[in-house]
Amino acid sequence: MDIVGIKLSEALGGRGCPVCRAMEKFEEDEIEVILYEHVTDPGVRTKFRESLGLCTRHAWKTLEVALKNPLLGPLGVSIIYEDALDVYLRGKREEGECFLCELVREKEKILIEALAERLDELLPEYGSSQAILCRRHYAMLAEKIKDKPELLKKLEEVQMKKLMELDNRLKAFIDTYDYRSARKPTEEEARALEDTIEFLKGRPVVMSTGRENRRGRGWLFGLK
Ligand SMILES: [Zn+2]
Ligand SMILES: [Zn+2]
């Protein structure tokens, strides 16, 4: 298996949606690279100016990444945001596209394509793992392999099996709250709620904004 295959196989071995998790990791790495190397880079600065300091989610995420890393701290973020504030003071009011959102979306496409290409090989691993592709990424992957009906059918079977098991696990968790129940939830049952939210909603990697929806970009809603 090639490097991408190995990375995907690792992601499939974890919990939750492997695509969301890989995007999350990518997002954090990108933020660190910007803060370590590109705070005063004119290209990066222009991108921050265009969006008046990224989208709401990525602005806070950038601050969070900086503050939790003792090697970074608030200086780089302060420089970036002083610049964005300055641009606002000089008259810029319109918030442009967040370039981190764009980067993460691009990564998402690449991950889905890579997964689709290697699915034959990776499906057994996915089947026996605790990972569950979220609704969005399952739909994207299914769309990508729609011209391979046999593989699609196998994927559907694996996914349904996982979701039934998840549903049972969440029901069992709820049942432990019954006053007649004498047992505490198992660790797996206690995880069921988070796993269910992760399946239905994915990880909060790229948020859609009101602005995007108005423009009809609707990337979050474009997929069934
Ligand atoms: Zn996902
Ligand atoms: Zn963003």
Of the listed ligands, the closest to the CA of 24 is 1
Residues in CB range of 81: below 8 A, 6 or more apart: 53
Which domain does 10 fall in, by range?
3-99
> Could you tell me the CA-to-CA distances from 182 to 25, 39, 89, 176, 208 in Å, in that order?
40, 57, 63, 7, 43
Residue 199 lies in a domain: no
What is the pLDDT averaged over residues 144-155? Answer: 97
Residue 61 lies in a domain: yes
Residue 41 lies in a domain: yes
Residue 128 lies in a domain: no
Residue 15 lies in a domain: yes
d(CA 150, CA 211): 40
What is the 143 CA–ligand 2 centroid distance (Å)?
A: 25
Place of tokens 């026996």: 128
Of the listed ligands, the closest to the CA of 204 is 1
Residue 28 lies in a domain: yes
**Domains in the chain: how many in total?**
1
What is the 11 CA–ligand 2 centroid distance (Å)?
A: 23
Residue 30 lies in a domain: yes
d(CA 224, CA 221): 7
What is the pLDDT averaged over residues 152-168? Answer: 98
The pLDDT assigned to 101 comes to 94
What is the pLDDT averaged over residues 154-162? Answer: 98
Angle at 125 between CA 150 and CA 107, to 5 degrees: 85
Residues in CB range of 76: below 8 A, 6 or more apart: 35, 36, 39, 66
The pLDDT assigned to 207 comes to 55
Query: Which residues, in sequence order, are bridge partners of residue 131?
Result: 16
Contact 52, 92 (CB under 8 A): yes
User: What is the dihedral angle through the alpha carbons of 88, 90, 96, 100, rounded to the nearest 10 degrees?
Assistant: -60
17-31 pLDDT, tens digit per residue, is: 999 999 999 999 999
Residues with CB under 5 A from ligand 2 (ion): 55, 58, 98, 100-101
What is the 45 CA–ligand 1 centroid distance (Å)?
A: 30
9 versus 186: which is more confidently predicted?
186
- Which tokens belong to 123? 């499906």
Residue 206 lies in a domain: no
What is the pLDDT averaged over residues 164-181? Answer: 94
What is the pLDDT averaged over residues 107-132? Answer: 95
User: Which own/partner contact pairs does 139-143 have at CB distance under 8 Å and 24+ positions apart?
Assistant: 139/223, 139/224, 140/19, 140/108, 140/112, 140/223, 141/19, 141/112, 141/115, 141/116, 143/223
Q: Please, what's the largest Cα pairwise distance for the chain?
A: 66
% of the chain with per-residue pLDDT over 90: 78
Of the listed ligands, the closest to the CA of 135 is 1
